Amino acid sequence: MPKNFMTHLPAEITRISRRERLSPDKAFLFWFAVNILELSEEEARDAMAVEGANDKGIDLFFVDEEEGRILLMQGKYSPGMRYRPKLGELTKLESSLNWLANPEALRKDGKADLADAAEDYVRSVNDGYGVEMSFVYAGPKCANVDKHIAVYNQNPENVAKRKAIRHYHIDIISSAWNEAQGGQQRIPSEKITIVGQGVLVANGQFGDAVVATVPASELVRLHRKYEDRLFDRNVRLFLGVRKGSVNAGLAETLNDTNQRGNFWAFNNGITIICDSCIRRGSSIQLTNFSIVNGCQTVVSISQNLQADAAGVEVLTRCVAASPDIVDDVIRFNNSQNPIRTWDIASQDKTQRRLKTEFEHLSEPYIYMTRRGARPKGNLQKYRDDGRLRQIRIDLMGQYAAAFRGDPVLAYKHKAFIFSRYHDDMFPSDVRVQDVLFQWVCGETCREVVGKTIGTGEEAEVRILKKGGTLFVLAIMASILVRRNGATYLNGALERNIISHTTKGRLSKYAEYARDTYVQAVLDEADIEGQELPTLIRQREFFKKVKERVGRGYERDARADRWLKEAIPKLAVSAI
pLDDT in tens, 396-408: 999 999 999 999 9
Kind plus residue range of the DSSP H or E element containing 531 = none
**Residue partners of 442: CB distance under 8 A and separation at least 6:** 395, 396, 398, 399, 402, 403, 469, 473
Q: How confident is the model at residue 238 (pLDDT cuts 50, 70, 90)?
A: very low
Q: By percentage, how much of the chain surpasses pLDDT 90?
A: 53
What per-residue confidence (pLDDT) applies to 244? 47
What per-residue confidence (pLDDT) applies to 1? 43
Instruction: Answer yes or no: is pLDDT of 309 > 80.
Output: no
CB atoms within 10 A of CB 436: 22
What per-residue confidence (pLDDT) applies to 543? 95
What per-residue confidence (pLDDT) applies to 437? 97
What per-residue confidence (pLDDT) applies to 534? 75
CA–CA distance from 469 to each of 51, 201, 423, 568 (Å)? 20, 55, 23, 21
pLDDT in tens, 39-94: 888 889 989 888 777 778 899 999 987 777 899 999 999 999 999 999 999 999 99
pLDDT in tens, 27-40: 999 999 998 888 88
**Residue extents of the structural domains in the chain:** 3-177, 186-333, 341-566
From the list 4, 396, 386, the residue with the least C-alpha distance to 181 is 4
* Apex 133 CA angle, 86 and 331, nearest 5: 125
At CB < 8 A and 24+ separation, what contacts does 436-439 make?
A: 436/358, 436/361, 436/365, 436/494, 436/497, 436/498, 437/489, 437/492, 437/497, 437/572, 438/396, 438/399, 438/400, 438/403, 439/391, 439/396, 439/399
Residue 131 per-residue DSSP state = E
What per-residue confidence (pLDDT) applies to 339? 56
What per-residue confidence (pLDDT) applies to 247? 56
**Residue partners of 552: CB distance under 8 A and separation at least 6:** 516, 519, 520
Instruction: Answer yes or no: is pLDDT of 240 > 70.
Output: no
Q: How confident is the model at residue 181 (pLDDT cuts 50, 70, 90)?
A: low
Instruction: Answer yes or no: is pLDDT of 134 > 90.
Output: yes
Q: What is the DSSP string of 36-74?
A: TS---HHHHHHHT--TT-GGGT-SEEEEETTTTEEEEEE
From the list 124, 21, 131, 180, the residue with the least C-alpha distance to 412 is 124
What per-residue confidence (pLDDT) applies to 54? 74
Residue 388 backbone phi and psi in degrees, to 5: -75, 135
